[in-house]
Amino acid sequence: MDNSNAADRVIQDLRRLAAGATAGARLPSVRELTARHQASPVTVADAIRQLVAQGVVEARPGRGTFVATPPDDHRTPDLAWQTVALGPRRAGEDEMRALLALPPAGAIPLSGGYL
């Protein structure tokens, strides 16, 4: 018996069931899938494990397999790490602004080099 074909059949069946159900809906048990696809429990468990890794289903030990909740794509990213990495201000930032600022009208900047 070719286990890859059996696993593919189980995966396709679970994908079809998950697509037609709402998030949190219960999917068939390993025992039901084993009988339906004439596959070993190990093959069915492997197929479920692949779908869990892809985020299609959610396995709850002792309770069953359920349709996974789709990820929330509208979450705002966490940018708090930038405060730690970049710090509140750079050292010498005010001095650099003063050096790069334009002199008042009529003044001759002495930092400009030659007269």
- Choose which CATH entry (3.30.70.890, 1.10.10.10, 3.90.650.10, 3.40.1360.10) describes domain 3-67: 1.10.10.10
The phi, psi pair for 8, rounded to 5°, reads -65, -40
Are 32 and 9 in contact, with CB atoms under 8 Å apart? no
Q: What is the mean pLDDT of the chain?
A: 86
- Whether 42 shows a pLDDT value over 60: the answer reads yes
pLDDT tier, 80 (very low <50, low <70, confident <90, very high otherwise): confident
CA-CA distance, 41 to 61, in Å (whole number)?
15
Torsion sign across C-alpha atoms 97, 99, 101, 103 = positive
